[in-house]
Amino acid sequence: MEKLKYLFVMGLFCICFTAACSNQNDSAGESADMAQLSEENKRTVATEDSSGLSEASAPESKELVASVQNQMIIYNAHISLETNDYDKFYQTLTKNSANKNAYIVEENIHKREEGQRSAHIKLRIPQGNFQAFIDSLKSYSDKIISREVSGRDVTEEYVDLESRLTAKKKVEERLLEFMDGAKKTEDLIRISRDLERVQAEIETILGKMKYLENQSEFSTITLSIEETKVTVPSLNEGGLNTWEKTKQAFVQSLNGLTQFVSWVTVAVIGYSPILILAAIPFIWWFIRRRMRRKAGDIA
């Protein structure tokens, strides 16, 4: 019995020791596998992060460069200047405008009493020639009084219009597909109304985009010009016209006299009944006075 108990205890101890060693080996293997898997995951994540960063940063840099290169800026300039001879300045201005592909859209000229002229001229010029044209004004004008140049960046506004246009065109395509598949009259009417509204919005967006494109491609320059030359008229400028002025004065005096006679005639004849009634008291007073004087002379 004691030998059996001893053998049973030794067998149980061997079984427990074997199981413990097996668990330890499995744990070590799992730890090694987990460590290897973790290391591989780290390499994968690092690779994905680095590749994702490089792929993401490249488009962003390209978009940034494209946005800088494709900036849409509307330039306007207001320039006040003086010139001694307006005719000479205007000839040079038109020649310089033609050389730089500019054109005049508005022109107003006023002549003062002293003879000098003042002008207001508005031009449109390609943006590439904008600064060169402004700088050239110094060469053929006597004095630049003031110069104001302003620019408005409409790039963001234009990009927003492009996005809205893309969205509206997608809606238009879907409405056209719905219209092809519609079978009821009510559905066709409703889709047609929505399609008409969307197409009108597309035309509005296209109009705004074309306006921004034109305004950014061609800059506006407004010139306020003052002529400083003093004009001295000659003695016989325009002619004295003495004989013509004499005849005119004579005719005017005859006309005045004729009008006066006509007015008197109309007044006397037209208002004669009233004049007679008004004159009766004076006639009666005059007759009585004459009679009294005669009676006094007799006495």
> What are the boundaries of each domain within the chain?
73-230
The number of helix segments (H) and strand segments (E) in the chain equals: 7, 5
How confident is the model at residue 227, as a pLDDT?
92
Element (H, E) at 183: none
Alpha carbons 69 and 63: distance in angstroms, whole number: 10
Average pLDDT over residues 276-291: 80
Report helix, strand or coil for 150: strand
In the chain, pLDDT over 70 holds for what percent of residues? 72
How confident is the model at residue 104, as a pLDDT?
93
pLDDT tens digits for range 30-71: 444 434 433 443 333 333 333 333 333 334 434 433 443 478
**Structure-token pair, residue 241:** 């016209």
Contact 107, 223 (CB under 8 A): no
Alpha carbons 191 and 197: distance in angstroms, whole number: 10
Element (H, E) at 149: strand 143-153
